[in-house]
Structure 1
Amino acid sequence: MIRKYAHVAVVAPIKGLLTYLVPQELSHVSAGNVVNVPLGKRKCRGIVFSITDQAPETEFEIKSLDSIDPEYEAHSIALRLKWIQWLAEYYFHPIGLVADLVLPPLSKGKKNAARKRSPIPEFPPESPFALNEEQETVYNAIAADTGFQTHLLYGVTGSGKTEVYLHLFEKTLKEGKTGLFLLPEISLTPQLVNRFAKRFGSKIALLHSQLTDRERTQFWWEMIQGEKQILIGARSALFCPVPNLGLIVVDEEHESSFKQEEKLKYHGRDVAIMLAKEVNCPIILGSATPSFESWLNASKGKFKLHRMTKRVGDIQLPEIKIIDLKASAARSKELKLPFWMSE
């Protein structure tokens, strides 16, 4: 009988994968399975990254897998394994602690507790707004790419970037795929959620820090099981293994809050780009003030640059003047105003 061995990322501060013997009763185990394994004198959760029949060269006794957690399907998690490995290597973080982030905070049995009030309000369905000429140009240019491509959408405030996103998400859903919309926590306002709810109704899910563990678990499973098609959230939403991703949007991509500064230190924008590359879908980085990194990548041709220079409804941008403070100092004194104030 050929023995099988599993390479497992255990949820512990250990750099690499550990090898476990696959017992006969667990011979059906595969990459992506969540398993329980012995680690020292305790039991530990882990995720299987690969199965091999090649025995490791070691003088130590190889311990066996304890059990497979039947709650999680291997397929959805297996699609993220290469991306998880890149994250752990690029950001120098234990791979098991990275892998554990793709799982929900609570077990599946606790997700069905009734909510007092849904975080997503109900609205009558709203028809899409007609795009103006500039929006239509950007929409067509982005919609033409079906595989991986990073798009930098540089649009002034009020130019209608969100409406372009909504049209692209609508196209993605018609193709039978799902979408991921990321934005800074501070931008996750009720107004934005309401706008998506009016357009997509019960098809949206949320993941952010203001939700309870039960609510996050509920939305996690609704995305995994295909009950919802668009996930809206802060940077942590990246780790939900959304199946069949067809579009990722990172709004306000210049925001520093996309960087996590504790535990796994990563940049949500960069990690989102790598996820889009892994699943082979387009990604849009939107901003009125793009980051230097994104602007440089666009100028070098690595990103496709799209500009939206006009506000919706031909509303004029505010006039900006440069004031010479030295020249205005005397006038400010005459008017009894602070030196930095002009007329």
Structure 2
Amino acid sequence: MSYLQLAIPSPLRRLFDYRPPRECSPEQLSPGVRVKVPFGRREVTGILINVTQHSEVPPDKLKPAIAVLDTTPPMPESILKLARWAANYYQHPLGDALSQALPVLLRKGDPCEYAHQHLWRSTPDADIAQLGKTAARQRELLLLLLEHPNGISEDAIRAEGGQTPLLKKLADKGLAESFIHNTDHHQHNDQPLHEAPLTLNTEQQLAVNAITATPGFKSFLLQGVTGSGKTEVYLQAIEHFIRQGKQALILVPEIGLTPQTVARFKARFNLPVVVLHSNLTDRQRLDTWLQAREGTARIIIGTRSAIFTPLKNPGVIFIDEEHDTSFKQQDGFRYNARDLAVMRANFEQIPVVLGTATPAIESLYNAQQGRYHWLKLNQRAGNARAPEFELLDIRQQPLQDGLSAPLVAQIKHHLQQGTQVLIFLNRRGFAPTLMCHDCGWLADCKRCDAHMTLHRKPFHLHCHHCDSQRPVPIKCDSCGSTELKPVGAGTERTEEALQKLFPSIPVIRVDRDTTQRKNAMQQIMDRVHQGLPCILIGTQMLAKGHHFPKVTLVAILNADSGLFSADFRGMERTAQLILQVAGRAGRADHPGKVVMQTHHADHPTITSLVTEGYQAFAEQELGQRIAAHLPPSIHCAMLRAEASHPGAAERFLGTLRNRLESDILQPQGVQWLGPLPSPMEKRAGLFRAQLVLQCRDRKNLHQQLHNIIREAEGDPDARKVRWSVDVDPVDMF
């Protein structure tokens, strides 16, 4: 008797044994196939890991599986290996990790095949004369079928005014039939390019040569100043692999960057370019996933989860804006797609390229240690010059909705020159909160330790942490006063102020509120690229990857926002954001200028960044991290817990620490920090705490995490809290 060991999507970190289904041949039982099984009171889809002759559970206690859903594993062996490695490294249940690596429809147990489109056509012997004159609607419907000998869908029949319920009557009379039409996804092209490549400068050519030089695994850090032509390096390196019959996978941090990246690739390549992101329907995702797996999609562009997309002929992986924290999944399966890309490239023996203007400190450390090949692009493409920086000290200066008089004068000057202006403010909404002028009451969220943001369109208070919303009060909740005033400025308020200051100039706001509708971001970009004078105001959505040839002035309204963060990465993120935003200025023939409003014009970090550039700042920051024994010189993991009662999460983590810290067999060199309340202790109605573990030896750290998980899973108090493990956390909140 053989038994199936399955990985089931559940919080339990173990495999589950089942008896094989009754109608099942041994040939079907390949590791990686999906198996439908009873699990508690429901039916779930598990992944077969192993077939064994022994089980620790008595045979009469084992349930039989319902069905084997695949003849061959949907995931190729390399992706199965990657998902298993990721589950082990990120200390996550294997069943859930493997499930996350599959498209949603495959998780639900749907067939691993393209959408079959049911079409209707007339039978070969069908004749309109076979219908009597009284069947006028049937005659109309049959005429429509005769006009479409290759078939027509029911949706198209309805669009033409035909009545689909009558199709069955025609079928009963032998005049019509339905059939399944399989779309041919295979496209062959001898000419892979639509347009000729641009001429590369020396630095770009050296980078392309290095990436394409030798087959096999190599990891590259491509550090290029904004506007240095990193995308052109991607395009020409990808062309090399495409001509070898290979595929390319490109990861971008956010959906907002996908349309322009896809447009650039489609303009260059005469090949199928497909996208994978969360805005697609489940059906679209599966069809695209299958095209990549079969090799018909040659270029795949996607966000974080696309790292698990199977490729028939893998050639190269690119991670654009590799420093971006969006590549780290922040809940559930907390993997980092950037780091998994390096591991996947190693498994598949292909090159991986991490591209950015402002490398993450970890990537910089890896480059210095020789783990990454360091490629640098220090000159801007074409005739573009680096923008000029100006620190605008706003101490003791009156501000109108966050705008100083000298900045308004500069905005006016640039608009008069016929160019465009970009205003950066990383706060959406009208104002960060609402305050009572009489007693000082603030509109706080009842479910979080945070203020509620005031929005004008529509008029409401909104917590951006837990998404709770409520109407704007007419009077103060504390003293009853009606003197309620907005505090600070968000993008809505600054947009309103700029519209009053420049009534004849279009003011275009770009934040999550204005880009929710489908294609909204693309419509905004099309409007900006017309080149007419306008003012763009937005959050960090504007900072990444966009090309605005006519923007000559970038204004950063609150350059101090991350200087005093409790997170040790706060300074790094501030510097990256400032330089990414600054890079939108002067990208074509027009010289650019960056004006930074600050209350700390003499702050050493800001002055170093502006005068010496990101490299000097990053090396100084790395030195401080090494001296303070912080990542990347030390390995880090965080246990997070949350509970509905204050102190419960902290007590749970404290108990775990006390049990394990006193164990004489615990791994050497592990340091414990905490447990402590999270910087935002209350969020979405739950009270949160965290326990940080650090160790110079990665193996010892993971051994301790394994011990903690085993202890936590056996703790009865664990049912009263929700806990998770975050390996290599990027957000200490």
- What TM bracket, shorter-length normalisation? 0.7 to 0.9
For 2:225, the equivalent position in structure 1 comes to 156
SS of the counterpart of 1:84? helix
Work out the CA distance in 1 between the residues paired with 2:350 and 2:50.
25
SS of the counterpart of 1:37? strand
Work out the CA distance in 2 between the residues paired with 1:68 and 1:46.
10
Query: Alpha carbons of 1:12 and 1:310: their partners in 2 closer, same or farther (altered >3 Å)?
Result: same
How far has the Cα of 1:312 moved from its partner? 1.0
The alignment's C-alpha RMSD in Å is: 3.0
Do the aligned residues in 2 keep the contact of 1:76 with 1:243 (CA within 8 Å)? no
For 2:34, the equivalent position in structure 1 comes to 34
Deviations 1:187-223 (A, max 9, x none): 5242221111122244211001222222212211211
Amino acid at match of 1:45: T
Structure 1, 22-31 or 130-139: larger mean CA deviation = 22-31
SS of the counterpart of 2:13? coil
Alignment partner of 1:266 is 2:335: yes
Amino acid at match of 2:267: K
Do the aligned residues in 1 keep the contact of 2:101 with 2:305 (CA within 8 Å)? no
Alignment partner of 1:210 is 2:279: yes
Q: Which has the higher contact order (CA 8 A, sep 6+)?
A: 1
Do the aligned residues in 1 keep the contact of 2:295 with 2:313 (CA within 8 Å)? no
Do the aligned residues in 1 keep the contact of 2:367 with 2:374 (CA within 8 Å)? yes
Deviations 1:242-283 (A, max 9, x none): 233221100000111112112211222112212212222111
Amino acid at match of 1:274: M
For 1:43, the equivalent position in structure 2 comes to 43
How far has the Cα of 1:234 moved from its partner? 0.5
Work out the CA distance in 2 between the residues paired with 1:18 and 1:167.
48
SS of the counterpart of 1:47? strand
Deviations 1:289-318 (A, max 9, x none): 000000000011111100000111142212
One of 342, 351, 356 as aligned partner of 1:282: 351
Amino acid at match of 1:66: I
SS of the counterpart of 1:284? strand
- Structure 2 gap ranges (5+): 118-152, 157-192, 398-403, 408-596, 602-733
Work out the CA distance in 1 between the residues paired with 2:3 and 2:246.
35
Deviations 1:140-190 (A, max 9, x none): 111124212210000011111111111111111222221110011155242
One of 303, 319, 334 as aligned partner of 1:234: 303
Work out the CA distance in 2 between the residues paired with 1:295 and 1:42.
48
Work out the CA distance in 2 between the residues paired with 1:202 and 1:174.
11
Deviations 1:93-124 (A, max 9, x none): 221111112222234567356999xxxxxxx9
Do the aligned residues in 1 keep the contact of 2:294 with 2:311 (CA within 8 Å)? no
For 1:121, the equivalent position in structure 2 comes to none
For 2:10, the equivalent position in structure 1 comes to 12
SS of the counterpart of 1:50? strand
Work out the CA distance in 2 between the residues paired with 1:214 and 1:22.
30
Query: Alpha carbons of 1:199 and 1:23: their partners in 2 closer, same or farther (altered >3 Å)?
Result: same
Work out the CA distance in 1 between the residues paired with 2:113 and 2:45.
18
- Structure 1 gap ranges (5+): 117-123
Work out the CA distance in 2 between the residues paired with 1:217 and 1:336.
54
Amino acid at match of 1:103: L
Query: Alpha carbons of 1:263 and 1:31: their partners in 2 closer, same or farther (altered >3 Å)?
Result: same
SS of the counterpart of 1:313? coil
Query: Alpha carbons of 1:216 and 1:201: their partners in 2 closer, same or farther (altered >3 Å)?
Result: farther
Amino acid at match of 1:94: P
For 2:209, the equivalent position in structure 1 comes to 140
Do the aligned residues in 1 keep the contact of 2:21 with 2:67 (CA within 8 Å)? no
Amino acid at match of 2:13: K
Amino acid at match of 2:328: K
SS of the counterpart of 2:76? helix
Alignment partner of 1:127 is 2:131: no
Amino acid at match of 2:247: T
For 1:111, the equivalent position in structure 2 comes to 115
TM-score for the superposition, normalised by structure 1:
0.84
Structure 1, 26-35 or 72-81: larger mean CA deviation = 72-81
For 2:66, the equivalent position in structure 1 comes to 66
Alignment partner of 1:89 is 2:93: no
Query: Alpha carbons of 1:73 and 1:167: their partners in 2 closer, same or farther (altered >3 Å)?
Result: farther
Amino acid at match of 1:111: A
Percent identity between the two aligned chains? 38
For 2:235, the equivalent position in structure 1 comes to 166
Amino acid at match of 1:90: Y
Work out the CA distance in 1 between the residues paired with 2:208 and 2:263.
22
Work out the CA distance in 2 between the residues paired with 1:241 and 1:109.
14
SS of the counterpart of 1:188? helix
Query: Alpha carbons of 1:336 and 1:141: their partners in 2 closer, same or farther (altered >3 Å)?
Result: closer
SS of the counterpart of 2:363? helix
Work out the CA distance in 1 between the residues paired with 2:313 and 2:11.
31
Do the aligned residues in 1 keep the contact of 2:7 with 2:46 (CA within 8 Å)? yes
Query: Alpha carbons of 1:129 and 1:274: their partners in 2 closer, same or farther (altered >3 Å)?
Result: same
How far has the Cα of 1:287 moved from its partner? 0.3
Work out the CA distance in 2 between the residues paired with 1:337 and 1:315.
26
Amino acid at match of 2:208: Y
Do the aligned residues in 2 keep the contact of 1:182 with 1:250 (CA within 8 Å)? yes
Structure 1, 30-39 or 301-310: larger mean CA deviation = 30-39
Structure 1, 87-96 or 289-298: larger mean CA deviation = 87-96
Amino acid at match of 1:245: P
Amino acid at match of 2:104: P
